[in-house]
Amino acid sequence: MEYRVLGKTGLKISSLGFGGIPIQRIDAEGTKKLMYQLKDAGVNYIDTARGYTVSEEYLGYGLEGIRDQFVIATKSMARTKEAMAADIETSLKNLRTDYIDLYQVHNPTEKDIDTVMGPGGALEALQEAKAAGKIGHIGITLHAEDLFKKAVDFDWVETIMFPYNLVETQGEKLIKVCAERNIGFIVMKPLAGGAIEDPTLALRFIMANPGVSVVIPGMAAEKELKQNIAAVEDTSPLTAEENAKILEIRNTLGTQFCRRCNYCAPCSVGIQIPALFILEGYYSRYDLQDWAIARYKGSAVKASACVGCGACEDRCPYNLPIRKMLKNVADKFGE
């Protein structure tokens, strides 16, 4: 296993990390088995989130007795000091530990960032927890490029998690900035939410970028773990054949794939367009139907509310047929 340093945290972590979303569809015993397999393979980075339902709890159970051999990262959607302090306590309890290595602000909008960093904001709770030794480091996870650009300037940000894969390279320049400023860069969505069907090629493409600290594909089975380990352990340069395949995938997916840049906003009727596409991806490609349905039900405005005005499509830099895609979302979720 190859190890890299996670930016200014100084943590030495395996270049392959464990993405904790899919364990929601197995159970605590299955998670424990996986944790021992990770340990034996030298994978020491675990990513989860308060929002991934039972993920923290399963991991807490699975890591009992071997927690010290892992770097644990979790994240919270809390934006205020009070809510973040409560979430940190919940994460510690769920993960059955007295220390979380990395705690991240989970996918804030621009407005959320003002709240997080303002008086009484979540950052105060994170900094207090860090001073108290409950968490080791503070990071942020983002989906929009303009926020990524802002986040590299925040002095409290030790790590940034952002989508990066062979069809979503919009963050490449900023990944370089992270490397220059010693900010750990964590890759999410290595398979573009499941749209890329060749995990080996996807991981080899990502790991060829020296600015990447760790990639966290979601895994719930030993077969996936073995396949991902083999992919990151092969550090030979991409072959001409692989590069040709990358081009082919880009040509196929390139024009039909939502990059979550949010340039299409605001929708005339308030649909959170990229958020609904993400849920559709979880529903169709991650085998997380129940979870996706529950989240979809909680969305204030459903895809079926689209009045077809086309304003969003005029703003989408990738010319996506958003209206058609939303119709597909509405058909899938039935509303």
Which stretches of the chain bind ligand SF4, using CB under 6 A?
Answer: 258-264, 267-269, 271, 273-274, 306-312, 316, 318, 320, 322-323, 326
User: Catalytic: 99?
Assistant: no
CB of 14 to ligand SF4, least distance (A): 32
What's the rounded Cα separation, in Å, for the pair 103 and 177?
A: 22
Q: Which is nearer to ligand SF4, 71 or 273 (CB)?
A: 273
For residue 266, give the H/E element and its range: none
* Helix 55-62 and helix 81-94, axial crossing angle in degrees, nearest 10: 40
CB of 322 to ligand SF4, least distance (A): 5
Residues 100, 123 contacting (CB under 8 angstroms): no
The one-letter amino acid at 208:
A
CB of 113 to ligand SF4, least distance (A): 18
Q: Strands 18-19 and 3-5: what pairing?
A: unpaired
Residues 23, 31 contacting (CB under 8 angstroms): yes
Catalytic pick among 3, 36, 52, 283: 52
Q: At 94, give phi and psi (nearest 5°).
A: -60, -45
CB of 328 to ligand SF4, least distance (A): 13
CB of 332 to ligand SF4, least distance (A): 16
Q: Cα dist. 292→74, 117, 281 in Å?
A: 20, 30, 9
Q: Which is nearer to ligand SF4, 181 or 327 (CB)?
A: 327
What's the rounded Cα separation, in Å, for the pair 12 and 20?
A: 19
The one-letter amino acid at 272:
Q
CB of 305 to ligand SF4, least distance (A): 7
Q: Which is nearer to ligand SF4, 244 or 309 (CB)?
A: 309
| CA neighbor of 15 nearest in space, from 23, 24, 6 | 6
Burial 71-95 (b: 16+ CB within 10 A, else e): bbbbbbbbbbbeebbebbebbbebb
Residue 68: both structure tokens together: 């010290």
What's the rounded Cα separation, in Å, for the pair 195 and 253?
A: 8
Residue 220: both structure tokens together: 């719930």
Q: Which is nearer to ligand SF4, 144 or 292 (CB)?
A: 144
| Cα Rg of the chain (Å, integer) | 19
What's the rounded Cα separation, in Å, for the pair 22 and 237?
A: 30
Q: Which is nearer to ligand SF4, 220 or 261 (CB)?
A: 261
CB of 329 to ligand SF4, least distance (A): 10
Q: Which is nearer to ligand SF4, 260 or 295 (CB)?
A: 260
Q: Which is nearer to ligand SF4, 75 or 260 (CB)?
A: 260
Enumerate the active-site residues.
52
